[in-house]
Amino acid sequence: MANVAVIGAQWGDEGKGKVVDWLASRADVVVRFQGGHNAGHTLVVGNQTYKLSLLPSGVVRGKLGVIGNGVVLDPEHLLLEIAKLKEQGLSVTPENLRIAENVPLILPLHPALDKAREAARGANKIGTTGRGIGPAYEDKVARRAIRLSDLAEPEVLSRKLDELLLHHNTLLKGLGAPTFEKQALLDRLLELAPKLLPFAEAVWERLDAAHHEGKRVLFEGAQAVMLDVDHGTYPYVTSSNTVAGNAAAGAGIGPNRIGYVLGIAKAYTTRVGSGPFPTELHDETGRLLGERGREFGTVTGRPRRCGWFDAAMVRQAVKVGGVDGLVLTKLDVLDGLETLKLCTGYRIGSEVVKRLPASIAQQEAAEPVYEEMAGWKESTKGARSYAELPAEAVKYIRRIEELVEAPVVLLSTSPERDDTIVLRDPFAG
């Protein structure tokens, strides 16, 4: 049986939580390999709804969860999320959660800087969540990050805080924001140390052992390919690589162990925050998609911008993301629409292209080239086989497959876990 990596194939919020939950029931280990608590996965299990933003989704299914070194970890948020799950009857302990000992930590100064810089941008703001993800990754690359293992060495921690505060307090002061005192940070980190260190280990060793034992590993990505810091609509992106290739670096495995790559896409398109969105709808149809799809960010609560399915963008995500097969979610949101549109490319000036260019000016100037298809009147909600789908819905799916050059292997027709049409088992390789 193969491992599976799940990534978003649009701008995030594609419904990865349900898909990961469904896959996690058949996996042995679930690994988060990038991002931080700026990601949001909503899982509906029976009468319970779990909202996770940092913990691997597998913990809800009683599977071993792993937070890899590619994640930036806010220790305060982690403990709050664990406490919230405990209130819902789920226990998260070192028995079912392991954290890479070399994971970088998000400290209070990171969101402070994040928010101060976003405010300074004014009308040119990027639309970050303000949770300190970007500044934490900057510290990692600049080699001044506080890592989980540092909490076991107070003298090292103290020395590293000196360097960190020299940098951050200078920036905060320049932006007119409050600065931070070392002793308060040091005291709090040392207070958190005994709560966090029991979870720490060299997770690359555990994952290597899992491979040799023939266990199935699910790699859970956050955000999506078009938010990738290299391949997305830069600078309106996240601060990490969201493509499947980063599962290797972010978890500590070889690239040959990533396995089958599953890309998640909605049957339409949404985006939270700022940035180009060629197929965005500002009309009644856009409002209808938002209302039916309950399009609000899991983390931010911000309303998502809605538009037609952008096949040109998803095709690009398939290519750079290494996607083997697609999961199409929220098909039922399109029920009853008389006409549907698929974006097959973009008109930029006098030229028509089938990819989003790297230039932000060209991205903003891109006008969608549409292909129209007939909609369907019947309901697709809860369908569990292609035989239960209207003929026009099947035609819509088949046309998406042709345009994005990837097969649809799973189809989600409602938030319920079992309302899933399975055309291919990703774990079969």
Active site residue ranges: 13, 41
Structure token pair of residue 19: 């898909």
Closest CA relative to residue 7, chosen from 358, 233, 245: 245
| Cα dist from 18 to 4, 42, 201, whole Å | 15, 7, 28
Structure token pair of residue 278: 């060629």
Distance, in Å, from the CA atom of 313 to the CA atom of 275, rounded to the nearest integer, reads 14
For the chain, how many residues are written?
A: 429
Distance, in Å, from the CA atom of 216 to the CA atom of 248, rounded to the nearest integer, reads 15
Contact predicate 372/311, CB 8 Å: no
